[in-house]
A and B are shown apart, each in its own frame.
Chain A
């Protein structure tokens, strides 16, 4: 790789060709302030905050999209540069709703930080926002406040390029420019899959989850209610970040302790039903491999992916696993098996889940998710919302003791915990499928080719001579590419080269979900994933079928995987959806 030499504020620095001035400056020890820039996204240069002066080049250059070149003499904080930055921030603030104290992003806002960084102390332009635009509350998962939007375009970049969903776009122009859905119909009346990637990429408070915090507090404080809580695998490697712990800190035990102290009556585990998912889905896989029908089998844990598939790939519905996601399996069991075993009236149970995900809020409200005869999951909290509740209750995760989850739906294996990373469901499924097919245990349980953050990962698994070709995609853009290929193969040859496919809607899998802490990026997602693999290694059981509580559940209640009762409680069906408004289409 050829290198270029330049100076940043007279400090010489050498960087690979193609490096932007922004990164070259970082190497020289200067952090140039940015606003629209995000390390995972293509620089668009919308905001202009990162401008610098380059000797001999007229005008100011945007450092995020100007490659460093040999001999450049760059100045990053000349009077002209600093005055320009202040002016740009003031202009952005002049049509921004600056009610920071009541904003969901208060203390976490990149614009707020930037205003402090560049030293804004007056607003000479005043505020041009005369009439506020209506806040879009049409979605059950995501709220969009156009008055907070600074038109940086990050949400559109993730929605259109990374996820290929295209719910949001820039509409109108000039002062009337607004990022919104077509005909301003609202996210709830669009193809939005509720993945929340726009939320975790938004620098300001223009996009956020529809909060369930108040409802959950009400349930906790209602003496007539028995409030159970489940936590997804990816939450335990992220919650620490809400309390300034290093990225990816594993806090499973502290999380249980904190939930108990918040007042939940039973602290249980989504990881328990992740193990259960593997037995249901693994059995389904073996059935399909045996019959040769509807291959490849495609996983169904990610509700963002489910809505994406229903909208853009509904011809693939027969390939989908009918197994519900772990969240919904838990919900169905909490108000049946658990209620019966504990002698609690299921009508009095309030079922709460803590998820790294905004799409789970949509999933729990799907009309068919009432297998228990009640709403299976009542409220979904994102990891961020749990952090908020803990702060409100004066709890700091760092000060919590390590406590186990409660019984019946609380045990979990390493196979369950890796669900939170892309490739984890695949790996967990293979660990148990091997046993189901051969009757023997897979000795080396670590299936490395399906790990990591490569867009589409492939592997060939040898199950006692039977070769199973698998693929793993994370982010809907990658899923689209993979599924297009599968669709073509089926059209051409009548079958696909793959037998089993895992899809997660979010980049990195659930660790990169739309419900995780603000300021997510690929490096953080990777670190969180590694922590899940660390927990997997540390657990006594690493194969889902080894989970004693899952074994007990089958013995006492469900009989066997894919039994009639299991089908009623743990399996679901899918719909075709419109590419215009995302609504269910009538069955023709």
Chain B
């Protein structure tokens, strides 16, 4: 869907700014808000360009830099930390060869951290795009990521 069509789905009210930006970001193959997205949003809502950028930069759910096709969000809250999220993070960094915020060379995955996902009962937990995974081990993470690679 092109930008114009996404914008037209919403009334041009400022209260729709987050919905619009989510849609723009999700539609972007690089999963981020480009300059052109911020500009289009500002024009459509008749608010300053700097304001839209300010809102986008405040929320961690929005990225202003290109990302991979899949976003891994590993929970860094205390319960997950106690259940081994930290070593899982080291494992992910090593196997994907990226730092937090980085994207794999093939553009497949971006590794991010997130605050509590509300899945403490199955800690350590992570999200892959919109999907939640719990009771993670390095083997389980490998299987999840392999499956995703094959799906694409």
A residues lining the B interface (CB < 8 Å): 160, 166-173, 181-183, 190-191, 579-580
With A182-B38, A183-B64, A580-B39 as given contacts, are A167 and B58 in contact (CB-CB < 8 Å)?
A: no
B48: Cβ under 8 A from any A Cβ: yes
Interface contact A169-B50, CB-CB below 8 Å: yes
Q: How far is the CB of A513 from chain B (nearest CB, A)?
A: 23
Complex: A2 Cα to B42 Cα, angstroms: 44
CA gap between A227 and B58 in the complex, in Å? 50
**CA separation between A191 and B50, bound complex, in Å?**
9
Q: How large is the interface on B (under 10, 10 to 19, 20 to 34, 35 or more residues)?
A: 10 to 19
* 10 extra interface residue pairs, beta carbon distance < 8 Å, beyond A171-B57, A183-B38, A580-B39: A160-B48, A166-B48, A171-B54, A172-B58, A182-B49, A182-B53, A182-B54, A183-B35, A183-B64, A580-B49
Q: How far in angstroms is the closest Cβ of chain B from A181?
A: 6
Question: A470: shortest Cβ distance to chain B, in Å?
Answer: 30
Instruction: Give Cα distance in the complex from A190 to B49, angstroms.
Output: 10
Report the nearest B residue to A170, measured CB to CB: B54
Do B57 and A167 touch across chains, with their CB atoms under 8 A apart? no
Question: Is B10 in contact with chain A by the CB < 8 A criterion?
Answer: no
How many whole Å from A186's CB to the nearest CB in chain B?
12
A580 to B41, CA, bound (A): 12
Q: How far is the CB of A6 from chain B (nearest CB, A)?
A: 38
Contacts of A173 in B (CB 8 A): 57-58
Q: Decide yes or no: A168 and B50 within 8 Å by CB, A182-B38, A183-B35, A580-B39 being known contacts.
A: yes
Given contacts A182-B38, A580-B39, contact A169 B58 (CB under 8 A): no
Kindly state whether residue B19 has any CB partner on chain A within 8 Å: no
The 0/1 profile, CB within 8 Å of A marked 1, for residues 68-83 of chain B is: 0000000000000000
Contact A190–B50 (Cβ < 8 Å): yes
Complex alpha-carbon distance, A368 and B132, angstroms: 60
Q: Tell me the complex Cα distance, A296–B97, Å.
A: 64
Chain B residues in contact with chain A, CB under 8 A? Answer: 35, 38-39, 42, 48-54, 57-58, 64
Contacts of B54 in A (CB 8 A): 169-171, 182
3 closest A-B pairs by CB: A166-B48, A182-B53, A169-B54
| Complex contacts, B57 vs chain A, CB 8 Å | 171-173
Q: Are B58 and A166 interface neighbours, CB within 8 A?
A: no
B49 touches A191 (CB 8 A): yes
Q: Is the CB of A579 within 8 A of B53?
A: no
How far is B57's CA from A191's CA once the two chains are assembled, in angstroms? 19
| With A182-B38, A183-B35, A183-B64 as contacts: A579 and B49 at CB distance below 8 Å | yes
CA distance A580 to B35 in the complex (A): 9
Cα-based distance from A181 to B48 in the complex (angstroms)? 11
Roughly how many angstroms separate A171 CA and B59 CA in the complex, as a whole number? 10
Which residues does chain A contribute within 8 Å of B51, judged by CB atoms?
160, 166, 169
Question: Are the C-beta atoms of A171 and B53 separated by less than 8 Å?
Answer: yes
A480 to chain B, nearest CB (A): 12
Q: Nearest B residue to A192 by beta-carbon distance?
A: B50
Query: By the criterion CB–CB under 8 Å, are A169 and B53 in contact?
Result: yes
Report the separation of the CA atoms of residues A108 and B78 in the bound assembly, to the nearest whole angstrom.
46
Bound-state Cα–Cα, A173 to B58, Å: 6
- Please report the C-alpha to C-alpha distance between residue A166 and residue B50 in the assembled complex, in whole angstroms: 6
Residues of B within 8 A of A167 (CB): 50
C-alpha spacing A169/B50, complex, angstroms: 6
A182–B35 Cα distance when bound, in Å, is 9
> For the complex, what is the distance from the CA of A190 to the CA of B35, rounded to whole Å?
13
Most chain A CB within a 10 A radius of its CB, from B38, B42, B50: B50
A459–B49 alpha-carbon span in the complex (Å): 36
Minimum CB–CB distance for A190 against chain B, Å? 7
The chain B residue with its CB closest to the CB of A171 is B57
How many Å lie between the Cα of A172 and that of B48 in the bound state? Answer: 17
Chain A residues contacting B58 (CB-CB under 8 Å) are 171-173
A170: chain B residues within 8 A (beta carbon): 54
With both beta carbons as reference points, the residue of chain A lying nearest to B47 in the complex is identified as A166
Nearest to A164 among chain B residues (CB) is: B48
Measured between C-beta atoms, what is the minimum distance from B96 to chain A in Å? 24
Q: A157: shortest Cβ distance to chain B, in Å?
A: 14
Q: Which residues of A contact B52 (CB under 8 A)?
A: 182
**What are the residues of chain A within 8 A of B39 when measuring CB–CB?**
580
Say how far B21's CB is from chain A's closest CB, in angstroms: 14
A-B contact pairs, 12 of them (CB 8 A): A160-B51, A166-B48, A166-B49, A166-B50, A166-B51, A171-B57, A171-B58, A172-B58, A182-B38, A182-B52, A182-B53, A190-B50
